[in-house]
Amino acid sequence: MSSAFHSISPLDGRYREDVGELCEYFSEHALIRERLRVEIAYFLALSRTSGVRELRKFSREEERALWRVVEEFSERDARRVKELERAFRHDVKAAERFLRERWNAWEFVRPYLSFVHFGLTSEDVNNVAYGLLVQRALAQVIVPGVDACGVSLRALSKKWKSVRLLALTHGQPATPTTVGKEFLVFAERLERQIRSLRTFRMQGKFGGAVGNFAAHRVAYPNVDWPAFGRKFLKSFDLIPLLHTTQINPHDDCAELSHILVRINTILLDCSRDLWLYIMRGVFRQNVIKGEVGSSTMPHKVNPIDFENAEGNLGLSTALFSHFAEKLPVSRLQRDLSDSTVQRNIGVAFGHHLLAVKALLRGFSRIDVDRALCQREIREHPEICSEAAQVTFRRYGKGDAYDQLKALTRGKSLTAENLQKIVRRTRIPADAKERLLVGMQG
């Protein structure tokens, strides 16, 4: 029953090949491994703290030996942790006990096992582990993916910068634009959010059961524990939180979720526009040999990449929106309702990544139909009325808008009729020539 065919989630089944790279950051195996990384780093940080006299400092060779638990963490190790978790019904306690079991075999560390997870609450470990996983996933998978979308949009805007396009405002023919400019709109919107994503950093909470190092202070009253906590978190490139309850308040997750929601919304807007352009014929999709568009209609070349992107962006946004609303709210010093929600952060990133890959495929197979673009503009000469009325007003024709409205609004207008209006209007010859040339499409 371990086959992808038996997975409940399509991310682990149908789409496994597309999102499998996220397993390194958001699988149960990855989370357990990262908890162990935090526990070991904390143990070694304690060993280097002069006020903690009962725990000796270890040599570099001994430290490397201790780190092997993480570096060699295997599927078998993960299964052992899960066995312990079933017994304890506590995930972090299971990781702690596993670490003690492994280190108990080594004489040089055995006398100091009481300092594993010393004075910590599970959230001290969990929030740092999630912070590390999220930051690595952003740097290595998510930002490069969104960046690739931005690069593709820029490239397409440059490729088609001079292709004129009939604009539609309220679904009605409007002043012409260019295909390149329309891609540039999405590129610039996306680039602004990418800058926010690049500079974003997760926060870290490290302060014991209610955030004040109470147990630590009792055990070692002469150690500056807040300074220790800040230094420890900064070693992971996390922003230290100075005052917390038992948990990280998750404002960092909320901030990140809002950034991803904005990125998803921009990409969804782009997906829908491209779908409409394909429907209209502005873009053709390159035919890929062997593909089938319909089980019954052999002629179909469906815009499935943009449809898949739209669907997955919606799912991703729904989850990120819930994270932003739910995670920062916790009863008094803590409740556990955030834990089960936070475990789904990889699902939100998974649907986002699926959408990004679908969009990149879609971008790679569209081509503009220049003849159709020219034909659409020629078929709607009334769109030149904006340029005409503004030019007329420049030269003192205060009623130009009303006159052209009476002649064009809701009416069938030929290019010849509009050109006649321009020719008989008293404006400078060069201005008249510009309008007439523009009306030729």
Ranges 71-75, 286-290, 325-329: which has the least confidence = 286-290
> What's the confidence (pLDDT) of residue 275?
98
> What's the confidence (pLDDT) of residue 2?
58
Give dist(CA 277, CA 157) in Å, integer. 15
Residue 175 host element (H or E): strand 172-178
Give the tens place of pLDDT for each residue, 165-222: 999 999 999 999 999 999 999 999 999 999 999 999 999 999 999 999 999 999 999 9
Distance (Å) of CA 200 to CA 120, 143, 237: 27, 11, 11
Catalytic residue, chosen from 74, 235, 294, 364, is 294
Cβ count near 296 (within 10 Å): 5
Give dist(CA 77, CA 97) in Å, integer. 12
**pLDDT(19) > 80:** yes
> What's the confidence (pLDDT) of residue 402?
87
Could you tell me the two tokens for 84?
Answer: 């312990």
Give the tens place of pLDDT for each residue, 38-54: 999 999 999 999 999 99
Give dist(CA 333, CA 211) in Å, integer. 9
> What's the confidence (pLDDT) of residue 421?
85
Provide the CATH number for the domain formed by 4-118 in this structure: 1.10.275.10
Q: Where are the domains of the chain?
A: 4-118, 123-291+298-371, 380-438
> What's the confidence (pLDDT) of residue 405?
83
The arithmetic mean of pLDDT across residues 331-341, rounded, is 95
- Helices (H), ranges, 204-303: 214-219, 225-234, 251-280
**pLDDT(440) > 80:** no
Catalytic residue, chosen from 2, 170, 295, 412, is 170
Yes or no: say if 202 and 129 are a contact pair by the CB < 8 Å rule. Answer: no
> What's the confidence (pLDDT) of residue 426?
86
Is 294 noted as a catalytic residue in this protein?
Answer: yes
**pLDDT(1) > 60:** no
Is 170 noted as a catalytic residue in this protein?
Answer: yes
CATH topology for the 123-291+298-371 domain = Fumarase C; Chain A, domain 2 (1.20.200)
- The pLDDT-based confidence of 253 (bands split at 50, 70, 90) is very high
Whether 380-438 and 4-118 are alike in CATH topology: the answer is no
> What's the confidence (pLDDT) of residue 3?
67
Could you tell me the two tokens for 396?
Answer: 């003192």
**pLDDT(57) > 90:** yes
Residue 165 host element (H or E): strand 164-169
**pLDDT over 90 for what percent of the chain?**
81
Provide the CATH number for the domain formed by 380-438 in this structure: 1.10.40.30
pTM here is: 0.94
